[in-house]
Amino acid sequence: MPYVNIRLAGKLDKQQKEEICSGVTDVIARVANKPKDSILIFIDEDQHENIAVGGKLLQKPK
């Protein structure tokens, strides 16, 4: 069973998550020749202040 973990800074709405999951599932099913119902996707939404790049915490977009 393939699984995908997507981590991002900030929040997505339900529609965005549905589109991402649909697209990722389609690609894995096509490229890896796996049945769509075997693909498991996790989306982790982190707060910007919990992620650092180059030693500096990310700033929330305005």
Whole-angstrom Cα distance, residue 38 to residue 53?
Answer: 34
What's residue 28's pLDDT? Answer: 97
Q: What is the pTM of this model?
A: 0.84
Encoded tokens for 43: 């989306």
Catalytically annotated residue among 2, 4, 17, 21: 2
What's residue 61's pLDDT? Answer: 84
| Annotation marks residue 35 as catalytic | no
Maximum alpha-carbon separation in the chain: 41
Which DSSP symbol is given to 42? E
Helix H segments across the chain? 14-32
Check if the beta carbon of residue 42 is closer than 8 Å to that of residue 2: no
For the chain, 62 residues long, the average pLDDT of each consecutive 10-residue run is 95 97 98 97 95 92 82
List the domain boundaries for the chain: 3-52
What's residue 14's pLDDT? Answer: 98
CATH architecture entry for 3-52 = 2-Layer Sandwich (3.30)
Encoded tokens for 16: 């965005």
